[in-house]
Every structure is written in C-alpha cells, then in structure tokens.
Amino acid sequence: MRRTALWFSLLLGLLAHGNLHAARLAIVIDDLGYRAMPAALSDLPAEVSISILPDTPFDLATAQKARQEQRDTLLHMPMQPQHRAPLELTTLTAEMTQDELQQTLRHALSRVPGAVAMNNHMGSALTQNIQAMDWVMAVLDEQGIYFLDSRTTAKSVALKQARALGIPALRRHIFLDHFQTQEFVQQQFKLAIKRAQRNGYAIAIGHPYPVTLATLEAQLPELEKHNVRLVRLSSLYPAP
C-alpha cells in the first residue's frame, strides 16, 4: 500500500511538470550523517536524493531535514567489504545469523525514518552472498522499502536476489567523484547524461564533497539542453 501511494503521487507530479519524453537522471548523495546537512546540498534541487549512514551523530537530524526539503531519503546500509577496511558501527557481515542480520537492519532503518529505499555502503563481499541478500530483501519487503544496488562489485547478486523476491530494485550506473576534482566530476556527469540519453534513464551516486556539490550546482541547469530531466530516485522504480 505504501509503495502504491508513493508511486501514484510521483506519477501525478510527473504529469504536472510535463516533459515526459526527456531522458531521466537521478542523483543520490551518499555518506550523510556524520555532519549536519551541508548548506550547499540543501541548495540543490529537491530531486537530488540523499543516503544516510545509520548510528551516526546526525542521522535522525539529517532525515528530518530531508523531509523538510521534500527529498527522497535512503538508508546507506554498511555491509562487509571484500578487503580489510574500517567498518561502521552498524555493519552487516557474513558472520551474522539470520536473526542478527535482520535485527541489525531493522534497527538501522529506524535511524533513517521515512526512507524510501536502501543502498549499500561498501559491501563488495556481502553483496556476493546470496543467503545474506535474501535475508536483507526479506526485511525490505516487510517494511515496504525499495533497493538500490550501489554496485561496489561487478559480482554483486543483490539486484538479482531483490528482483527474484519481488522487491522493486535498481542499480547505480555512474560514480561521480572517486577523484575529487572539478574536471573529473564534470566528466562523470557528462557520462551520466550520455547513459540517460542512451537508455532512457541513469542513476549517479556522489558524496557531499564541496567540489561535487559545487559542480552539480553549476551543471544541473544544463540538463535541459541535453533533453534530460532531473528526477527523484523513487520515480524510476516500476509501479507495484
């Protein structure tokens, strides 16, 4: 019911704004929660979504701020990486039992109230684990949450398992800023536009780096020239 109502409201908004034949681009800014919402991010259009790390100092406050700005909010769920790396306080690992993993995920969702979707933070190991992904998707199904595969490894089975279990699911196409220079972010933004033009839509993920936010502020007004429309991530999911 929650997914149906969300989809219907987004469809009405789409019709109201016209330009239905333009390619669509959704942008998600990850890794929110350690600091208050950056003013430069608040200045970006409300169609830009944010993804919040659970159990961080500003997770609840950032979720509330996003609601005030009428942004799509995601849970940025930490998952076990393939290579040794510092882990977040709340991380899903392959060593967890089903109950431990699912209770941890439910707790994380409670830290990002109003989340429309979940995407993985790291997770190059866990997203290859079919059983763990099935456990994750069962919780998302239970709570009416969409899934976005951040695609931190080409071997991820997360998208496949989500779709097999009937969870509305999408994947990331472009990372905007693994190099933090204006030239690189601009280059990746252009790739996102080309991907959207070629396939009808594209999903790009970035981070709240000053260079990323400043580049987006400068480049987003140019989308119309390319017949590309900035959209909410939730508008890309298929109707239930």
Per residue in 155-206, pLDDT (tens digit) is 999 999 999 999 999 999 999 999 999 999 999 999 999 999 999 999 999 9
Tell me the two tokens of residue 105.
């995920």
Question: Which residue range is the domain that position 162 belongs to?
Answer: 2-236
Mean pLDDT across the chain: 93
Q: What is the pTM of this model?
A: 0.90
Residue 59: give its domain's CATH number.
3.20.20.370
State the residue for tokens 């989500």: 162
How many structural domains does the chain have? Answer: 1
The H-assigned helical ranges of the chain are 2-17, 39-42, 59-68, 98-110, 130-143, 158-164, 182-199, 210-219
Q: What does the alpha-carbon distance between residue 70 and residue 32 come to, in Å, rounded to a whole number?
A: 16
In the predicted structure, residue 94 carries a pLDDT above the cut 60: yes
Percent of the chain whose pLDDT exceeds 90: 88
Tell me the two tokens of residue 39.
């003013």
User: Which pLDDT score is estimated for 7?
Assistant: 47
pLDDT in tens, 105-155: 999 999 999 999 999 999 999 999 999 999 999 999 999 999 999 999 999
pLDDT band, residue 84 (cuts 50/70/90): confident
Could you tell me the CA-to-CA distances from 111 to 61, 75, 135, 189, 198 in Å, in that order? 10, 8, 19, 31, 37
User: Which pLDDT score is estimated for 127?
Assistant: 98
In the predicted structure, residue 19 carries a pLDDT above the cut 70: no
Could you tell me the CA-to-CA distances from 227 to 11, 30, 115, 183, 201 in Å, in that order? 19, 26, 29, 22, 11
In the predicted structure, residue 20 carries a pLDDT above the cut 70: no
- What SS3 class is residue 31? strand
Q: Would you state the torsion angle of the CA atoms of residues 136, 142, 146, 151, taken in this order, to the nearest 10 degrees?
A: 10
Identity of the residue numbered 215: T
